[in-house]
Homo-oligomer: A and B are copies of this chain.
Amino acid sequence: MLKEMGVQARQASACLARLMSKEKNRALFLIAEALEREQSAILLANQQDLEAAQQLSYSAALLDRLRLTPQRLALLQQALQQVIQLPDPLEQPAEYQILPSGLQLKRQRVPIGVIGVIYELRPNVTLDVSALCLKSGNAVILRGGKETQQTNHCLVTIIHQALIRSQIDPTAVQLIPSADRRWVNELICADKSVDLLITRGGEALHRLCREQATVPVINGGAGICHLFVDASADLERSLPLILNAKVQQPSTCNALETLLVHRSIASKLLPLLSEALALNEVTLHADPAAITWLSRGPAKVRPLCKEELDQEWLSLDLNLCLVEDIDEAIMHIHHHSSGHSEGILTQDASHAQRFTQEIDAAVVYVNASSRFPDGGQFGIGAEMAISTQKLHVRGPMGLESLTTVKWIAEGDYLVRN
């Protein structure tokens, strides 16, 4: 079955590669329009998914990721409009050169071909990802979470209608059944029909792909983000930043998971932190040294288990460790980072420099909240994922990262000497 979808996707991708920008934009426009027209159908499907998830006792954080509202649909519509506005990466002028041999060499952007995307709860990904793939001339095979089945089915039906109205092969966007795990195993090994797999999920999915995928994979979306509060940090201004990083949208990959505090400022910062976090209902998972300073504060504190340092909470939980100095902070991050976003709060320029140089992550922050890295904030428009790996693309994945190049060489019956 997947094989057949792969063949269809390959055929669709050949047609997509030849479309003009305006043809692709028209399809995106029709999708955006249908989001409004079909709002009640979408929300109804989403309600069915939410009820099923509630019956399975999903956490509030998970339900939040799953939920669509009229406001969120309006944001999705805006995101589609943004994708329409973005320049078509395939219209970048090709690079030309004439080599000393006389060979005329052209290097031009082309779509990657067929992209597989595996993601979890959030149904907005279905639209974002489809729009970015279409705009960049790629066919896409989607595998969303089983919790979002009804919503995704409804959204993909809307996309298909828009594609048909735009005279584009609807198999350009295909959704595989999410109920059966076997489809995932087939998809990650479909190297004949899928050129790139993008995974937006937790560490378990990444490990599965690392160990079993034969399709090239870009991992995105797992963020164990650290923030180190150095001895010289401005404490008063640090508090709102820590809160922002943790509570603004705890279910996203760029939310803060572990706070590292320089031991020398623990006595000042931790009591203030306890109050601020208690107000925001954050549970602290603190190491023994930190607990000393927290025991009288109002925040809920639990002893930290070692394994929690490698866990992406995605909830109102925060790990807290005291460190001796910047060396220990850097070492801690080396051991536990997922390579997403790591930050330092400091007034010491040499510490800021060491931190940005030595930390090996997609984004390194100095005196700023880890909540920033996304395509919108970084000025590259909507994004496919935040790549936490080093090859092809690192950080927010925009349209260009969904393309590759082809070299075209012309001569006049030219031979190599």
Contacts and interface: CB of A to CB of B under 8 A. Distances in A.
Contact of A389 (B216, B218, B360, B412): B216
B372 A241 contact: no
A379 B97 contact: yes
A363 interface: yes
A165 interface: no
A414 B101 contact: no
Which of A238, A360, A412 counts the most chain B CB atoms within 10 A?
A360
Count of this chain's copies in the oligomeric assembly:
2
A259 to B, nearest CB: 15
Given A97-B379, A377-B103, A372 B413 contact: no
A356 B408 contact: yes
A105 B103 CA distance: 40
Given A358-B14, A391-B216, A415-B244, A378 B105 contact: yes
B364 A378 contact: no
- Chain A contact-residue range equals 35 or more
A413 B234 contact: yes
Contact of A407 (B245, B345, B363, B405): B363
Interface string A369-399: 1011100011100000000011110110000
B406 A364 contact: yes
Contact of A409 (B14, B365, B394): B365
Contacts of A361: 406
Nearest to A111: B390
Contact of A414 (B364, B368, B395, B405): B368
Contacts of A411: 365-369
A196 B389 CA distance: 10
A409 B364 contact: yes
Contact of A390 (B112, B372, B373, B377): B112
Interface string A91-131: 00000010101010100000011000000000000000000
A264 interface: no
Contacts of A360: 113, 406
A369 B103 CA distance: 10
A240 interface: yes
B113 A410 contact: no
A169 interface: no
B404 A368 contact: no
A248 to B, nearest CB: 6
A369 to B, nearest CB: 5
A255 to B, nearest CB: 11
Given A366-B409, A371-B416, A409-B366, A101 B390 contact: no
Contacts of A369: 411, 414-416
Nearest to A413: B237
A210 interface: yes
A4 interface: no
Interface of A: 14, 17-18, 97, 99, 101, 103, 105, 112-113, 191, 195-196, 210-211, 214, 216, 218, 234, 237-238, 240-241, 244-245, 248, 345, 352, 356-358, 360-369, 371-373, 377-379, 389-392, 394-395, 404-416
Given A103-B377, A377-B416, A390-B404, 18 more contacts: A112-B390, A112-B391, A237-B413, A240-B415, A244-B415, A245-B415, A248-B416, A356-B408, A364-B407, A364-B408, A364-B409, A365-B409, A367-B414, A368-B409, A368-B410, A372-B409, A391-B392, A391-B404
16 contacts: A17-B357, A18-B357, A101-B372, A113-B360, A216-B216, A237-B413, A240-B415, A244-B415, A364-B408, A367-B410, A368-B413, A368-B414, A368-B415, A372-B414, A390-B404, A394-B406
